[in-house]
Structure 1
Amino acid sequence: MLPSLLAITARRLRVFPAALCAQTRLYAAAATERKKFYENVSISHGEGGFEINLDRRKLRTPQGKIFTAPSEALAVAVATEWDCQRDVIKFYTMHLTTLCNTALDNPTLRNKEQLITAALKFLETDTVCYRVEEPPGLVELQRNEWDPVIEWAEKRYNVVIGSSTSIQGPIIPTETKDVFSRHLASYNSWGLLGIEFIISQLKSLVLTMGLIDRHLPVEKAVLLSRLEEEYQIQRWGNVEWAHDYDLQELRSRTAAGTLFVHLCSESSTIKHKLLQD
């Protein structure tokens, strides 16, 4: 059993692209605390979009750009993050702000095509596509919980995905990659950044698209992404505070990423995507 679980861990660690790791390191310095320096948060409409004002100061990105959100709804959500801070600003709790900063500064200088390529790489190492051969209980759990999600995705996008017990994973047909590439291209660059962020949390493009398409709620998608861990916890128990903290953090980041994708997608883009599907 142990070798199988080690193989799963190794496969899951492979999915992080270098670009995503680089931008995470760049903004790691922002994941600290700072004494709150403002009283009121407001929103104004500027030339580049909707701006966030902290008292009379305009919010700026880590690179010094004026913070602008492409939609009023996203600006309201970001403003809420800032308004919820108390005596100390906890930047590591402000996932929407961080995603917007990354989209505005684009520290890794990636274009839309590169974002799509990065997202598609996850399909080759998708969590729900990798299966164990033992123990029987986990084999059955993966089949019962993951097979319906794969079947949904195959029917939804008219593709073949499949699963495998090999450490190399299933062979994803070129046609399947092409379909997902066209679908991802219907999102703007902000939306693609959010999709990649969700994928990095769940280690799964399939689960991510289930979330974005509103087929799966956040709680269910997170549970499915942690199926092996939950199985081990049920058998051997858990470190109470560590497990609960990790679970809540994963839910928080996944929910924020999903909200980000929906709020930053322009209506024209959404209509165009629906016409393509």
Structure 2
Amino acid sequence: MKRFYKETGVDAGEDGFRVLLDGKPMRTPAKAVLVVPTRALAEAIAAEWAAVPDKAEINAAHLPLTRLAATGIDRVVARRDEVIADTAKYAASDLLCYRAAGPDSLIGLQRERWDPLLAWAAERHGARLVTAEGIGFVEQAAEARARLHEAVSAHGDLALSALYNLTHTAGSVVIALAVSDGRLDAAGAFAAAQTDELYQVDRWGDDPIAEKQREGVRRDIEACARFLSLLENARLRG
């Protein structure tokens, strides 16, 4: 589908802020009106559509904030408990808990980037996760998993859309919650999630396929972090 509209805008209503295309409310793929709780997010979504060149093909990959909002409206609302469970389950196998057996330089880098985040999760959410060397499964305490499930559940539907995507992209619910809480920015989240990969690049060099994959991860993390930031205090349920 090519660009079919001339102007974008934002309209405030009782239920939030609507994004307008030529004065008409934008709708999600499921035909629901796209309404978000903050003007900042609505304006950012409108800016994505305004940036589409005249008569150019509309590429969903260039509309990450729109996709996250539409997913929250169309899917999370109807499947909230499932989305929470699919996000919180990472507490049982979080990336930050599985450490390299060597070399010492990688062990040290993992400790530097990951230990402060696990300490934050313990202090902020009362979730004390244990670490293990290698890829063998490590059992996490039921209380720690429950605390992180509660932290995920505290998010509103739109925020859950971003939190779910961020958790799956990073392989870590701790990283995702740290971004939502403002403990990590997008660059910090990317560095934490890609610690092992970036270490290997520094040691052995890069290749085009791996570089392209990492850039995709970077863009996804940046979009989710920006989306959560634009939701401001509305990311949490009232």
Q: TM-score range by the shorter chain?
A: 0.7 to 0.9
User: Which residue does the alignment assign to 2:110?
Assistant: 142
Match of 1:49 among 13, 16, 28: 16
User: Which residue does the alignment assign to 2:181?
Assistant: 213
User: Which residue does the alignment assign to 1:99?
Assistant: 68
The sequence identity of aligned pairs, in percent, is: 27
TM-score normalized with structure 2 length: 0.87
1:182 Cα deviation after fit: 2.3
CA contact (8 A) 1:40 1:54 kept: yes
Equivalent pairs counted in the alignment come to 236
User: Which residue does the alignment assign to 2:148?
Assistant: 180
Change (3 A) 1:44 1:144: closer
Matches within 5 A, 1:241-256: 242-256=209-223
Match of 2:124 among 150, 156, 160: 156
The code of the aligned residue for 1:67 comes to L
Match of 1:196 among 164, 172, 178: 164
CA contact (8 A) 1:50 1:75 kept: yes
1:246 Cα deviation after fit: 3.6
Query: What is the rounded CA distance, in whole Å, between the counterparts of 2:3 and 2:96 in structure 1?
Result: 42
The code of the aligned residue for 1:90 comes to N
Match of 1:35, SS?
A: coil
Change (3 A) 1:105 1:206: same
1:62 Cα deviation after fit: 1.1
1:231 Cα deviation after fit: 1.3
CA contact (8 A) 2:228 2:235 kept: no
1:233 Cα deviation after fit: 0.8
Match of 1:161, SS?
A: coil
1:235 Cα deviation after fit: 1.5
Query: What is the rounded CA distance, in whole Å, between the counterparts of 2:142 and 2:5 in structure 1?
Result: 52
Q: CA RMSD in A?
A: 2.5
1:82 Cα deviation after fit: 0.8
CA contact (8 A) 1:124 1:169 kept: no
Query: What is the rounded CA distance, in whole Å, between the counterparts of 2:229 and 2:182 in structure 1?
Result: 10
CA contact (8 A) 2:98 2:133 kept: yes
Change (3 A) 1:204 1:54: same
Match of 2:84, SS?
A: helix
